[in-house]
Amino acid sequence: MALPRCERSSPLLGTVRNVSDPAQSIKLRRLALPVYGPTVVISIGMGAVVPLIALSALDLGATVTQAAIIVGLIGFGQLCGDLPAGALAQRFGEKRVLLAACVLEAGAMVVASRTDALAVLAVSVFVIGLSSAVFGLARHAYLSEAVAIEYRARALSTLGGTFRIGSFIGPFIGAFLIEQYSFGATYAFAAVTSLAGGLLSLALPDLPATRAGDAPPPERRSMWTVLAEHRKVFATIGTGVFLIMVARASRQAIIPLWAALQGLDASTTSIIFGLAAAVDMLLFYPGGAIMDRFGRMWVALPAMIVMGAGFLLLPLSGTALTIALVACFMGLGNGISSGIVLTIGSDVAPADGRRQFLGGWRLCADLGNVAGPGVISLVSLAFPLGAAAIALGLITWFGAGWLARWVPVYDPARQAKEPAKV
């Protein structure tokens, strides 16, 4: 006997509930303002601030090494915030946590805008990373439960796409504010966008179970219990997601380094980044539609193959044109895979302990964000930068093979075609 469509069976997960009845899910158009609106607004503010953090630190007397460390505190804050974010969302609910994260981020931005102390700036940047982790987890958990599984990939790829749109616009606004006013004005602008995002989040529709009055009782199990129960998932498909994020983060780090090595100036490198970002933004919705219709594998594998090939081609480029072509080629792979990490995480997250699980899932992804630039640093200590690009290409292709092995095991599109075991 097959299970109802709202459940699926997996040899490693057991039975996992998913919202698949359109009558019990929230229409995507109702989420445009309360989910995607805050993401665009907040990412515009973050996009304006992030490129300026190192410059702010230098302006306060930091050395180049100290400035780099302060920039890295955003990622470190996200790592530290991933697991607590899951516990907070479970205890207080997504809407409250989203608002609290936005207020916290706005406060950190205000402090950063007014401080003259390097240590205070460093703490503010760390808090910005923490709040970003909490905000990201709450959005992910909400959409995982609110949207029918048939539309999940499109919903989550659109979430990734709106972040890309904001990140593309933000640096231009930041440059204008610095030119006309000061660093402090840029941080103040980001504080306003954070508060605006929090207010928009208040319009989130209640989750289907909450509206129906039949929400399950609060889960009493600890974060560590949930993570331990699903350790096989983290060791298999979680490793694949880690490798996806290694490729993505390395792509962002190695292209400007390679451009500088070839003698390109900062403005030319910025144009190359802008072109690649434009390609990246164009493909988020088609990628989600492909995942929903044909399965996650049809995006995960091509994206990793394309990005891996881009790393291998990068050492062959030596002019602005060829570097731009490689960057846009890699943007093609990254763009079509928009939302893949969020989508797979929602696929494998159990209904019982979903938020705690997603905290661990996002930790896997953020570890990849940190590890990618680390690979570049380690390899380039002993070898030329081109060798680091080749190493990353091979790692990315290894990731493609790993995903080819494990994504089908958890893909709901494939499981829907197979009789469930009971």
Beta strands in 144-262 (DSSP E): none
Q: With 80 as the cut, is the pLDDT of residue 38 above it?
A: yes
Give 415-420 contacts, CB < 8 A, sequence gap 24+: 415/8, 415/9, 415/10, 416/5, 416/8, 419/2, 420/2, 420/3, 420/7, 420/8, 420/9
Q: pLDDT, tens digit, for every residue of 233-259?
A: 999 999 999 999 999 988 888 888 888
pLDDT of res. 28: 63
Q: With 70 as the cut, is the pLDDT of residue 68 above it?
A: yes
Please give the domain boundaries of the chain with CATH numbers for all domains.
20-210 (1.20.1250.20), 219-417 (1.20.1250.20)
Going by C-beta distance under 8 Å and a sequence separation of 6 or more, which residues neighbour residue 202?
34, 95, 99
d(CA 297, CA 293): 11
The mean pLDDT of 134-144, rounded to a whole number, is 90
Q: With 90 as the cut, is the pLDDT of residue 190 above it?
A: yes
Q: How confident is the model at residue 18 (pLDDT cuts 50, 70, 90)?
A: very low
Summary mean pLDDT of the chain: 84
Kindly state the tokens that stand for 406.
């494990």
The verdict on pTM exceeding 0.85 is: no
| Sign of the torsion angle spanned by Cα atoms 403, 404, 409, 414 | positive
d(CA 138, CA 101): 9
Q: How confident is the model at residue 412 (pLDDT cuts 50, 70, 90)?
A: confident
The mean pLDDT of 393-404, rounded to a whole number, is 96
d(CA 156, CA 230): 22
Distances (CA, A) of 163 to 21, 43, 102, 103: 28, 6, 15, 19
Distances (CA, A) of 229 to 132, 180, 410: 27, 54, 16
Angle, helices 266-282 vs 152-180, to 10°: value is 150
pLDDT of res. 313: 96
Q: With 50 as the cut, is the pLDDT of residue 152 above it?
A: yes
d(CA 240, CA 242): 5
